[in-house]
Amino acid sequence: MSAKSIKERMSGNEAVAYAIRQVEPDVIPAFPITPSTEIPQMVSTFIANGQMNTDFIPVESEHSAMSAAIGAEAAGARTMTATSSVGLALMWEELLLAASNRLPIVLTLVNRTLSGPININCAHSDGMGARDTGWIQIYSENNQEAYDNYIQAFPIAEDPSVHLPVMICQDGFITSHAVQNIELLDDASVKEFVGSYDPEEYLLNPGNPVSVGPYSVSNYAMEAKKAQADAMVRAKDAILKTGERFGKLSGRSYGLFEEYRTADADYIMVIMGSAAGTAREAVDELREEGVKAGVLKLRVFRPFPEDEIAKALSACRAVAIMDRCESYNGHGGPLAQEIPAALFRNRVSVETVSYVYGLAGRDFRVEEVRSVFQDLQDLSENGKTIEQFQYIGLRKKQE
């Protein structure tokens, strides 16, 4: 049954803070960092005003925030936190502990460039830097998705077949501070959708003592890692089931990725986050001109849906892979590694070109999307040699 829809105008940070109030986790440890500072600030105001029954723990650093989150979650409390950029980097050790201890913590990440040079604007280098820490990662295009994804995070993380932490990502300033129209759910529907958190095992259970994070000798550690990896594989089904259930509640269903005009597309752009809207606008223009262009917007980066992506790209002629961060490997960003590997393993032979765009908040415009699709056309139809790793929108050197 559909929930009551409440039409509002909110920034992405406001939308996530509103969702946090509705979910009402037990514990929130947090430390401020731009551009995510508003989220714990707003939530602490909700708590102070008696609108939430949540323990807010102000800590001295982001490392401490994740440490406190791990302790609270291990004790049986539903726990979340928020951060950005170097704040996530400071959590590095604790991110790995949260995942390996199978603690379903939710972290809302407002994506911001990792230093240096120091910059507070959007890139995906923080989330991508943590891509192998064992966290589920879900990326949002707009404020609506940031709100919806956050609500879905808890049922995914707490699914008995998964029990892994979840990172809900949105683009710093582009969505976090921009105000957009949004449809909210009523409080009761969110509470019912998320449900209560009743962990099977937790530290403060005197009748069933357990240890969390013990030293593991070589005879057991590898098995623990395999169990963790298997849970990440199972997370895919939990994400799909939760997205379908959320669709019945809200009218907005979610999958692993979203396809736009790809069914008959010769050329497809794969992209994540807020720039997907720009890509769709360019595709509409190109379609009017007779160019069969399409967009695949990746929502779930971990677990990486390689088989599904390979199938979605199998019928096109060429693919542009767009990364909003560098891997410093000499040939592209994280998506430029994952997608060609997925195509190869699925025996899909499609031309690909990797691009880096939008670092440190650099604008990504419709005309630049069009130029990428022109590259794909030149490669496929005109036999032109296209540089396989390009930066989009670089300033020209002065002559």
Tokens of 127: 């989330």
Q: Give the Cα separation of 159 and 138 in Å (integer).
A: 16
| Model pTM score | 0.97
**With contact defined as beta carbons under 8 Å apart, do 266 and 316 qualify?**
yes
In this chain, the answer to whether the domains covering 5-210+228-250 and 257-391 adopt an identical fold is yes
Tokens of 103: 């603690």
179 - beta bridge partners? 11
Q: What are the backbone dihedrals phi and psi of residue 297, each rounded to the nearest 5 degrees, phi first?
A: -95, 115
Instruction: List per-residue pLDDT tens for the chain, 399 residues long.
Output: 578 899 999 999 999 999 999 999 999 999 999 999 999 999 999 999 999 999 999 999 999 999 999 999 999 999 999 999 999 999 999 999 999 999 999 999 999 999 989 999 999 999 999 999 999 999 999 999 999 999 999 999 999 999 999 999 999 999 999 999 999 999 999 999 999 999 999 998 888 988 888 899 999 999 999 999 999 999 999 999 999 999 999 999 999 999 999 999 999 999 999 999 999 999 999 999 999 999 999 999 999 999 999 999 999 999 999 999 999 999 999 999 999 999 999 999 999 999 999 999 999 999 999 999 999 999 999 999 999 999 999 988 654
The secondary structure element, H or E, covering residue 293 is strand 293-298
> Which residue ranges make up each domain of the chain?
5-210+228-250, 257-391
- Determine the CATH number of domain 5-210+228-250: 3.40.50.970
Distances (CA, A) of 329 to 262, 337, 340, 358: 30, 10, 15, 18
Q: What are the backbone dihedrals phi and psi of residue 392, each rounded to the nearest 5 degrees, phi first?
A: -95, 130
Q: Does domain 257-391 have CATH number 3.40.50.920?
A: yes
Smallest CA-to-CA distance from 362 within 399, 325, 398 is with 325
10 - beta bridge partners? 180
